[in-house]
Amino acid sequence: MGFRYRKSLRLIPGVRLNVTGKGLSSASFGKPGSTLNMGRGGIQSTVGLPGSGMSCASKRSGKSALFLGLLIAALVALIYHAARGSRAAQVSLLVIGVLGVGAALMAQNSDTNPGLRQT
């Protein structure tokens, strides 16, 4: 008989990280009745009638989506805590925004000046 371990950690309402014995397994978004689960096996959406036991699930992608799920979970948690007045979350969002705009401008600038490379 094998032992299993599973734990669901609620970050904020509607966002959960699911942990198993092998480590972080997935990130889930949504409430009972409609959830989106992003994990190693891909992206799966589930729609159902809460309390009835009836649901329908469909797999969205065969590619690994765990990193994407964790990134979305972290951003949603940051936005939630920033809206509730956390200075650390507000500063983190500001830094992420400035870095994102800087990276976008650098990418745009490198696309418009391809002749600057030396051979």
Percentage of the chain lying above the pLDDT 70 cut: 83
Between helix 66-83 and helix 87-112 the angle, nearest 10°, is 130
Residue 74 has pLDDT above 80, yes or no: no
Average of per-residue pLDDT values in the chain = 80
- Token couple for 85: 């007045």
d(CA 71, CA 79): 12
pTM given for the model? 0.54
pLDDT band, very low/low/confident/very high, at 45 (cuts 50, 70, 90) = confident
pLDDT digits (tens, 9 = 90+) for 14-42: 888 888 888 888 888 888 778 888 887 78
Residue 83 has pLDDT above 80, yes or no: yes
